[in-house]
């Protein structure tokens, strides 16, 4: 009689451990962190097609959105985009002579330096103003202006418009695959 009781207890203990493990994995995956695969070349050279990253979903619940953060947002029900935040609510965004201006002040973009150095001639980012793409003089509350680092080949706020902060899943700056590219990106 002892022998039949012991296997049942062991099965029950293993079942509890598995339920707890799957429950924790579910909570972590859906509420805290999730993986994403970079799809396309819009964030090159910072991010390459096929790289896998960790999205921090809780970061914006605790902290604030910062200019130049790399974020993941719902572009449609089927597609999420990875882009860089360029303009925040209340900002006026403009480019002139391949230079970013926020509220009339020049902003450095060191993450573009290596890409600009590779260009034989010409500019990486064409001249534009916020008004040309959004018909707004400043970014309204609850929205951001995003761009890919590969400015010549990026579907971003210049085409899709301003992004609602509510559509942002989280920020990302950790590449975990491929192993030779593993690390932090900025």
Q: What CATH number has the domain spanning 33-184? A: 2.10.109.10
Reported pTM = 0.77
- 132 CB burial (10 A radius; 0-12, 13-18, 19+): exposed
C-alpha–C-alpha distance, residues 168 and 66, integer Å:
13
Active site residues: 42, 83
40: left (phi over 0), alpha (psi -120 to 50) or beta: left
Over residues 128-151, the pLDDT tens digits come to 989 989 888 999 999 999 999 888
- The confidence band for 62, taking pLDDT boundaries of 50, 70 and 90, is very low
| Ranges of each domain in the chain | 33-184
Answer yes or no: are the C-beta atoms of 181 and 51 closer than 8 Å.
yes
| pLDDT number for residue 1 | 47
Q: What is the mean pLDDT of residues 94-100?
A: 92
């Amino acid at each position: 009689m002892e022998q039949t009781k012991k296997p049942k207890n062991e099965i029950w203990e293993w079942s509890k451990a598995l339920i707890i493990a799957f429950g924790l994995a579910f909570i972590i995956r859906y509420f805290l962190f999730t993986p994403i695969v970079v799809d396309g070349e819009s964030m090159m050279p910072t991010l390459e097609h096929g790289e896998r990253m960790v999205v921090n979903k809780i970061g914006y619940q605790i902290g604030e959105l910062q200019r130049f953060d790399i974020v993941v947002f719902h572009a449609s029900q089927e597609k999420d985009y990875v882009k860089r935040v360029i303009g925040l609510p209340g900002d006026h965004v403009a480019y002139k002579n391949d230079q970013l201006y926020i509220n009339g002040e020049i902003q450095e973009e060191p993450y573009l330096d290596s890409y600009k150095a590779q260009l034989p001639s010409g500019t990486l980012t064409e001249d534009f103003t916020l008004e040309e793409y959004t018909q707004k003089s400043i970014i309204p509350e609850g929205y951001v202006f995003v761009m890919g680092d590969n400015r010549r080949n990026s579907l971003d706020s210049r085409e899709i418009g301003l992004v609602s902060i509510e559509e942002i899943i989280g920020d990302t700056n950790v590449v975990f695959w491929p192993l030779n590219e593993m690390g932090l990106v900025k």
